[in-house]
Amino acid sequence: MSEKQADLESALDHLHAAHDEGRIGQRLNWLRAGVLGANDGIVSVAGVVVGVAAATPGNTAAIATAGIAALVAGAFSMAGGEYVSVSTQRDTEKALIAREIQELEEQPAAELAELTGLYRKRGLSADLARQVAEELTKHDALAAHAEVELGIDPEEFTSPWAAAVSSFVAFTIGALIPLLMILLPIGNATIVTAVSVVVGLLLTGWISARLGKAPVLPAILRNVLMGSATMAATYFIGLAFGVVVG
């Protein structure tokens, strides 16, 4: 095998490895979004049930009704928002791919030169960049341009339904933590709920930091402090409202 051919194969292997890493990164982003959805479920429903519990102590029916309503509304809101957002992204991706197909059909030479230039920007020499561009164009010109130029896999468009369902499920799972804890038949369910929420937020903060390869302690502290502040605010609002109504 010639040195030039070896360089070409090495470059292609590196590019394929980068493509696989990009796919893994997309999966991690989805997983991180699920963790954040669970985090939203924990905080928002905890805020509601703690506030209602402070306003109507011992009124299990009112607390359960408010908590279930918050869970259902929040889960559907999250799912709807993700569906609309990802649908818009998917439409944009399809439009970009359609334009790329047209450009490849109408001006293949210019597109080859463009692909060569993109690989030059990635650090390949002029000759090797040209070889890589030619090889990938022969194999699948659209995939090569979509990946390098647009950052899109034409065979794996983002799914709005997958985003909606994952957000719905993640939010629901998170929301069930404070909802179930506040309904426990014990002396002070509010304290138990607050402790369980802090533990849940600690866990989601840790997971999100690990997935994003970020420092763990700051992520956990932000999560716990914001969630605790939310519960404290709604508790005192509920307390004040309960006094006024009472």
Q: Can you tell me the distance from the alpha carbon of 51 to that of 184, in angstroms, rounded to the nearest whole number?
A: 16
Radius of gyration of the chain (CA): 26
Judge contact between 163 and 78, C-beta under 8 A.
no
How does pLDDT run across 131-157, given as a tens digit for each residue? 777 777 887 777 777 777 777 776 667
**Whole-Å CA distances, 58 to 51, 52, 54, 90:** 13, 10, 9, 48
Is residue 150 within 8 Å of 100, Cβ to Cβ? yes
Give per-residue pLDDT as tens, 111-135.
Answer: 888 878 887 887 777 887 787 777 7
Mean pLDDT score, 79-84: 90
> Which residues touch 223 (CB under 8 Å, ≥6 apart)?
39, 201, 202, 204, 205, 208
As given in the structure block, the two tokens for residue 209 are: 């930091």
Percent of the chain topping pLDDT 90: 32
| Structure tokens, 160 | 């709005």
Residue with tokens 């649908």: 87
Residue 162 neighbours by CB distance under 10 Å: 13
- And the tokens for 194? 């607050």
Is residue 66 within 8 A of residue 48, CB to CB? The reply is yes
Query: In this structure, are residues 37 and 171 in contact, taking their beta carbons and an 8 Å threshold?
Result: yes
Which tokens is 86 given? Answer: 């990802």
Cβ-proximal residues to 70 (8 Å cutoff; 6+ apart), any chain: 44, 45, 48, 49, 175
* Residue 49 in this model has a pLDDT that exceeds 70: yes
Comparing 53-62, 103-112, 119-128, 229-238, which segment has the lowest mean pLDDT? Answer: 119-128
